[in-house]
A and B are shown apart, each in its own frame.
Chain A
């Protein structure tokens, strides 16, 4: 079951990534160039997914948007893992009041609706890619921190760790050489589990007009555009970007769930948007 799910997810993701990477390159046109003579055309052989209100080809633009969204999601997931793994490992290795305080901070970050923090951050640093990535990474590291902390706690009292400490290794060295590498596989699974949320987060911010500027294609800006095109009957402006978003979510979620079952992580890991 887990393997079938994993395979289906990987195949779907490879197809989507291939579409996102190859189509803009093969098409040989800049997806941002407008052509108002061709505005608001339904799907046809010339424009498989139709065109938007500025005459841009949606087959190319959806691919470009998918590429941007997936890129941002991957960067955010990796950053979250970096922060989460460091915080989790150090907190567990330090123990005592440091650990308790860190876990309180984790609770605090979890208590705030993540999108709200994202909105505040992105509103204050408008249109900056760094702000978008930071707003996602800074709110999503807590799950990873929990997982890594639990793993390190279970490793901390093992014999090879005691041996290293007795041999005169510093605490930091033990964390770096013995504890973090052992917790890494779990942290990477957590990163995959974060991907769907990162995709949603980015597209949501862009949809609200706070993320990327409207001409830059991302799944969020395309759907923002669809909002007004819909009123003029342009169903294709909604259907194709939305399909891309949903399929990408399904693919990474399937991979994540399969990996989670293998790593025997709790069901709830990665459950928060």
Chain B
């Protein structure tokens, strides 16, 4: 089984699958979650170990990462002493072991580019990233459901054509180009919204300020994810509308809105849940680019800062954290799928 695709649902041909009682589904979901968690841990260990191994192979001297500009002025003895203290001269697996040990005891090291302990950087920036990605994802999902259902229900109409072709075009525009275009149009050209940042320069951190500065980045991030979600909703709803059950519902004379919303949509939403999990890496990538363009003080921007400044302790933790978030997100999507779909026999 792969991470992003569930096994093909095993449908019993002989008898129509009766919805299983909730308790059975929860147990199946629990088994699935347990098995998948067993996969998460080795991946995290390999990924973080890989970061250390690559750093070891790279021409970059870890001391330069710790010392910054002082690296150029520090004497050789001083460098040797610091290398000894930090243990950077040792083989990478020993350093990795120490780092893992520190991680487990809550010591994440110090970030040079922010001049703070890594834990503090995380604590200060995580909420802003969660705010941005949460709002964007909510916006994208809502829009995808509304417009996707509308365009599938009125297939071939002008709404459908406009929405579909806009999505196909938007799929070809990278998130950072959408971001730059939005800045050029709405912030610089029309001057409706601020260019970047969390608040106006020197302004107090208030809800109104943050909300005004959130509009553009959140809209851009949502727009960069929207086409995939929307086209998926439209496609699966069209497939569901061609189903015999829908034909039967129509034959019983049910209103069109009842047919679409009560009979077709629930079936169509199942693949959507899986897609949401599969799109998580893209959401992370989008967040990195949007936060960078809009100077949004979140974790994704810190990824870029720590990479540009070669702030290794922060970069390693952020890599681990992002990977964990993506793995857990796709796990959640699969668990939701098992809970929602009465047919899936979770094979765990």
Contact = CB atoms under 8 A, between A and B. Distances in A.
A156 to B, nearest CB: 20
Given A231-B188, A246-B177, A249-B172, A120 B319 contact: yes
A29 to B, nearest CB: 27
A167 interface: no
Contact of B51 (A120, A125, A209): A120
Interface size class of B (residues with CB under 8 A): 35 or more
| Majority secondary structure, B binding face | helix
A204 to B, nearest CB: 6
B177 A112 contact: no
A102 to B, nearest CB: 12
A231 B292 CA distance: 16
Interface stretch (A18-26, A185-193, A222-230): A222-230
Interface in B1-29: 2-5
Given A123-B308, A125-B58, A210-B307, A112 B180 contact: no
B281 interface: yes
Interface string A137-172: 000000000000000000000000000000000000
Contacts of B169: 250
Interface stretch (B39-47, B66-74, B336-344): B39-47
Interface in B253-299: 278, 281-282, 284-285, 288-289, 292-293
A124 B278 CA distance: 28
A212 to B, nearest CB: 14
Given A119-B304, A120-B307, A242 B180 contact: yes
A112 B281 contact: yes
Given A123-B307, A227-B293, A242 B181 contact: yes
A193 B326 CA distance: 24
Interface string A229-257: 01101010010001001100110010000
A104 B39 contact: yes
A264 interface: no
A200 B55 CA distance: 25
B184 A235 contact: yes
B43 A273 contact: no
Interface string B144-173: 000000000000000000000000010111
Interface in A116-144: 116, 119-126
Nearest to A241: B177
Given A112-B47, A207-B176, A107 B293 contact: no
Interface string A262-273: 000000100111
A119 B177 CA distance: 18
A111 interface: yes
A78 to B, nearest CB: 22
Contact of B285 (A113, A125, A242, A271): A113
B129 interface: no
A107 B303 contact: no
Contacts of B293: 227
A121 B281 CA distance: 17
A223 B58 contact: no
A53 interface: no
Nearest to B300: A116
Contacts of A216: none
A238 B174 CA distance: 13
Given A115-B288, A231-B188, A273-B282, A210 B323 contact: no
Contacts of B233: none
B174 A200 contact: yes
Given A107-B2, A110-B4, A204-B289, A121 B323 contact: no
Nearest 9 pairs of A and B residues by beta carbon? A124-B58, A123-B307, A113-B281, A249-B172, A115-B285, A108-B43, A250-B172, A113-B284, A242-B177
Given A116-B319, A125-B60, A230-B188, 8 more contacts: A111-B3, A120-B315, A123-B315, A207-B289, A208-B304, A223-B180, A230-B180, A253-B172
Interface of A: 103-104, 106-108, 110-116, 119-126, 196, 200, 203-204, 207-210, 223, 226-227, 230-231, 233, 235, 238, 242, 245-246, 249-250, 253, 268, 271-273
9 contacts: A107-B43, A108-B43, A112-B281, A116-B285, A122-B307, A123-B307, A125-B58, A230-B184, A271-B278
